[in-house]
């Protein structure tokens, strides 16, 4: 780790807690006829010895992920989060709101406008001096900034004196609980334990005023902050206590202990071995297996498990930008949903569990033809087919 510096505190002492070796950039989708080997780069998670932030050690990649189709689960979570902010009095009709965008897609601005807020678009356009607003929201965007301090300072710069900053993050506690080690990928620079996120915000003069938990991606959290000494902070003392409880809970399960976080390494072999064994059994039984969800989390999973086109005939995805391409590393071709159904797979491995209800409803012909959906992680689990 020579020359390494923390993305938040600039400390130079850290612990490698997860090492996936050399992996291709998860957002580089080659064409199937491109014979050049996919470039691979070290993929490691480090926990800073000073501030405790879990983060991507290094990222020499520069590919840009094609924008995916916003899943229904993300739409539902956004609606729930906006409703929670409104009920808490942190998103108030007639006040102003702006949003920092995320590569994960989706936006809360329409929902905020429906709730009576005046929304500003084009936050990152760079045109003119940024105007401060009463509510700044960021849904799964902060993790994509290599310089975490500068990123949080940019968000703070848009916040009015009595404003609220709402950060939606996929928590490290969820990753540890579920063993979803493949959340680690190039381009995702930080993995937030709530205690560490609160400490980061407090360094910049922010204090928590509320927190809400959601089932999206196994467990995400929206934490709301206000400036120290602001009227908003004084009015939401009860919300601050909820955040403190969450902080205590996460500390209790070891999210700030590098030795505990390093247990993710055990989950790597367990899930990869289970997937490999499932596909070997399927091949022995003469089953045709496909996948669904050309997501970044699938890339490392397939790579570590040694999965290729001989194991999966294709991976379906709703994003047209990915059609006709292939997953990096495994080179499994990516097709549209209709083409996936036409392949008549006996089993379809789902790489984004949150999509299960959505894809079953959208693609009933998979099960109608005798196929089964299989949740791929943490180990393959066949879903009982719908009874006619």
> In this predicted structure, what is the pLDDT of residue 385?
84
Distance CA 109, CA 266 (A): 40
In this structure, what are the phi and psi dihedrals at residue 98, rounded to the nearest 5 degrees? -145, 165
Task: Identify the structural domains of the chain with CATH numbers, from first to last.
Answer: 72-260 (3.40.50.150), 269-382 (3.40.50.720)
Find all residues with CB under 8 Å of 384, minimum gap 6, and list them: none
For 185-228, list the strands marked E by DSSP: 190-191, 206-214, 220-227
Query: How far apart are the C-alpha atoms of 2 and 57, rounded to whole Å?
Result: 11
Phi, psi (5° rounding) for residue 173?
A: -60, -40
Residue 163: strand, helix, or coil = strand
The pLDDT assigned to 260 comes to 95
Can you give the pLDDT at residue 125? 44
**Can you give the pLDDT at residue 124?**
52
Residue 70, pLDDT score: 72
Q: From CA 147, how far away is CA 106, in angstroms rounded?
A: 23
Name every residue whose Cβ is closer than 8 Å to that of residue 52 and which is 6 or more positions away in sequence: 193, 195, 196, 199, 256
pLDDT at 53: 98
* Stretch (H or E) spanning 174: helix 172-178
Question: Mean pLDDT for each consecutive 10-residue tract of the chain (388 residues)?
Answer: 90 96 88 85 96 95 63 90 97 96 85 96 58 95 96 96 97 94 94 98 97 93 96 91 93 94 93 96 97 91 94 94 92 96 97 92 94 94 81
Determine the pLDDT at residue 263: 94
């Amino acid at each position: 780790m020579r020359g390494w510096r923390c993305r938040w505190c600039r400390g130079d002492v850290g612990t490698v807690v997860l090492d996936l070796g050399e992996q291709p950039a998860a957002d580089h989708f080659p064409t199937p006829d491109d014979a050049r080997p996919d470039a691979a780069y070290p993929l490691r998670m480090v926990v800073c010895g000073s501030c405790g932030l879990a983060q991507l050690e290094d990222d020499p990649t520069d590919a840009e992920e094609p924008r995916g189709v916003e899943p229904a689960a993300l739409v539902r979570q956004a609606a729930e989060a906006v409703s929670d902010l409104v009920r808490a009095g942190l998103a108030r009709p007639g006040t102003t709101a702006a949003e920092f965008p995320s590569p994960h897609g989706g936006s809360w601005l329409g929902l905020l406008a429906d709730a009576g807020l005046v929304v500003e678009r084009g936050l990152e356009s760079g045109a003119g001096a940024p105007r401060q607003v009463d509510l700044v929201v960021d849904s799964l965007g902060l993790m994509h900034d290599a310089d975490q301090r500068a990123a949080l300072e940019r968000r703070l710069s848009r916040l009015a004196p009595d404003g609220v900053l709402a950060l939606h993050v996929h928590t490290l506690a969820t990753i540890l609980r579920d063993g979803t080690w493949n959340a680690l990928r190039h381009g995702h620079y930080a993995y937030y334990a709530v205690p560490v996120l609160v400490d980061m915000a407090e360094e910049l003069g922010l204090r928590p005023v509320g927190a809400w938990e959601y089932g999206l991606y196994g467990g995400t959290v929206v934490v709301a902050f206000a400036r120290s000494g602001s009227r908003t902070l004084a009015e939401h003392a009860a919300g601050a206590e909820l955040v403190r409880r969450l902080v205590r809970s996460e500390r209790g399960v070891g999210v700030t202990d590098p030795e505990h976080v390093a247990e993710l390494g055990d989950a790597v072999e367990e899930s990869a071995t289970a997937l490999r064994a499932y596909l070997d059994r399927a091949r022995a039984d003469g089953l045709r297996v496909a996948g669904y969800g050309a997501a970044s989390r699938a890339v490392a999973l397939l790579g570590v498990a040694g999965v290729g086109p001989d194991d999966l005939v294709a991976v379906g995805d709703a994003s047209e930008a990915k059609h006709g391409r292939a997953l990096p590393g495994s080179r499994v071709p990516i097709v549209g949903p209709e083409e996936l159904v036409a392949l008549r797979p006996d089993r379809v491995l789902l790489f984004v569990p949150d999509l299960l209800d959505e894809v079953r409803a959208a693609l009933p012909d998979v099960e109608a033809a005798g196929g089964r959906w299989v949740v791929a992680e943490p180990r393959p689990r066949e879903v009982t087919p719908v009874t006619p």
